[in-house]
Chain A
């Protein structure tokens, strides 16, 4: 499953961040932010227009990610 497909308020565990292009700078930045294997994430909310961007909690921080950005993050439902 992708982070962008999570339902609002649900938790998941990050599997990995996919590069959509060679050396994808957005994917690299996501990893810097802490989107790495085993890290718990939560989809906290969504933007008002077209449910975009997404409000994502990872670690102790909240980030605003566009859907296309969040779609790079593969997750697995929390056990």
Chain B
């Protein structure tokens, strides 16, 4: 690399959903999240690349903004970086403004607003592929002359789609555009469009056609229900063979390794009962998590999500939310942490807080192992109404239970809140896009890596710690019960049992709850370890099916619908709300709900079964 040329600092700025992050990924080889709706990027992200000449560039990806008069926390970040007010960040050398070539009436206004800052800048005219397909003709030299800055066509989703942009940036600092006199920006945009752009149609024909169905009052709602339902069916029915494969593989490996350690019983127990039983118990859920994500990623890229938000806005408004809450809440099905961060795109601070508080009620993928274990153990795998898998139906209802209680909690929050002024929706509906299989594959790969890292990291460590707590101190001379009953964990479990007996939890469950607070999947691996140490040779599912009552299983399911959220979620809430009070409110209400729900479930189920 040529060190004599100083590296230039660039910032990607533009309206939401114009392809800034796609461009960032293309240039830096990064893997930031790209999706087809406004408000995906909520933080500044930094990357680097080197031009063919050897000059180095530092590139900032920023949240999208409709205006420098920021209306939400993510827009404030962009404004502050552009103005040089962002703590620890100097003003970028060059602002790379990005605009969607199919949406210039909206995006050019913001470009003009940024131009007023009087900083060196260029305009990347992105999505030129989509523009050409729609027959949009843009006279780039004319636009360049009108704007007074370089205008470069880009296609952020195509290899080399930004080569020309790099070449131009490499040519040195662009000139600063003459600062205009405060003329009306809208009038200026209109003049530029009349002059330099020819559009056969204001919107894409295909978008209109799809929207006629998707946003139809009846068809649209029906379709939304069908899509959601299909996802849960698929999670159960497609994953089964893969899960059996993983289960058999882990079991076989455990036996082989265990046999090799036969001479060292303590180590053998740690490896077989602790690591293989525990970690293997969680690993089998990888296929289900990936199938769930396959759908989430495809929906995100398609542009359907803001439509779903449109359909549900009124319902959510009644509950004290906004349609905008839909997307953060949907992300929370993956994990509450990105979901809570995504609330930054909600403008109204009250809506944002409510959304944060109820995000943990969306069933995150870490809870899937718990649900899947209990459903597989207690709910028969049979077909109902001809086409539905009963296990899938139960899973779907658990998710629905979470959603319904989230709406109820939001409604209560609305009741107790004093400030009842108007909340805003004001949401852009993007063009539909066909998801790229490659992007989805990358997204799935990332998810798999995250999950495997969790399995190899926190889940493995907690499982090992739990093994120690469950093994020591060992049983005294002449003891008759399994050794675990005398261990620290056994003592702790029996102590907790007094609190949890009314909701039907046995002491094994009580033990599993504790590490489950750090990471929910660990509840499953802990149960597996605890039972393995209690001398059970069967698989966890078989043990649960024979040793637990149905009432206990249902009660644990109910517990996990509300399940006290994991510690990392609490840390995220603390960071995003900047308040311990909200953290306590959230923890308190979730514990209370979980306990009450489990109590009711257990007592009713028991009364009905006798």
- Residues of A that sit less than 8 Å from B by CB: 25-26, 28-30, 32-34, 36, 39, 44-50, 52-53, 55, 57-66, 68-69
Contacts and interface: CB of A to CB of B under 8 A. Distances in A.
B425 A64 contact: yes
Range of interface residues on chain B? 35 or more
B426 to A, nearest CB: 6
A56 B203 CA distance: 12
A60 B426 contact: no
Contacts of A44: 211
B419 interface: no
B64 interface: no
Contact of B313 (A57, A63, A64): A64
Interface stretch (B98-106, B440-448, B451-459): B98-106
Given A48-B311, A53-B310, A61 B428 contact: yes
Contacts of B203: 57, 60, 62
A62 B303 CA distance: 13
Interface stretch (B217-225, B267-275, B400-408): B217-225
A34 B186 contact: yes
A1 B475 CA distance: 83
Given A53-B314, A59-B105, A30 B426 contact: yes
A29 B66 contact: yes
A65 B218 CA distance: 19
B179 interface: no
B217 A57 contact: no
Most buried by B among A46, A59, A63: A59
Interface of B: 66-67, 69, 71, 102-106, 109-110, 186, 199, 202-203, 207, 211, 215, 217-218, 220-221, 306, 309-311, 313-315, 317, 323, 347, 422, 424-429
Nearest to B311: A48
Contacts of A60: 102-106, 199, 202-203
A39 B202 CA distance: 13
- Of all A-B residue pairs in the complex, the 9 with the closest CB atoms, nearest first, are A59-B105, A48-B217, A49-B314, A32-B67, A62-B429, A64-B427, A64-B310, A36-B186, A66-B425
B103 A46 contact: no
A72 B102 CA distance: 27
Given A50-B314, A52-B313, A60-B199, 16 more contacts: A28-B67, A39-B186, A48-B217, A48-B218, A48-B220, A48-B221, A49-B315, A52-B314, A55-B211, A58-B105, A60-B103, A60-B104, A60-B203, A61-B105, A61-B428, A64-B426
Most buried by B among A39, A45, A47: A47
A68 to B, nearest CB: 6
A45 B314 contact: no
B240 to A, nearest CB: 35
A69 B426 contact: yes
Contacts of B67: 28-29, 32
B428 A47 contact: no
Contacts of B202: 57, 59-60
A60 B309 CA distance: 20
A26 B310 contact: no
Given A48-B220, A52-B314, A63 B424 contact: no
B186 A65 contact: no
Nearest to B207: A62
A25 B71 CA distance: 8
A50 B211 CA distance: 19
B310 A34 contact: no
B109 A29 contact: no
A74 B110 CA distance: 23
A79 B202 CA distance: 19
B309 A64 contact: yes
A48 B347 CA distance: 24
Contacts of A47: 217, 310-311, 313-314
A33 B66 CA distance: 7
B424 A26 contact: yes
Contacts of B427: 63-64
A62 B428 contact: yes
Contacts of A55: 211, 215, 310, 429
Nearest to B204: A60
Nearest to A49: B314
Contact of B215 (A30, A36, A45, A65): A45
Contacts of A34: 105-106, 109, 186
Contacts of B306: 64
Contacts of B426: 26, 29-30, 33, 63-65, 69
Contacts of B309: 64
Contact of B424 (A39, A49, A59, A69): A69
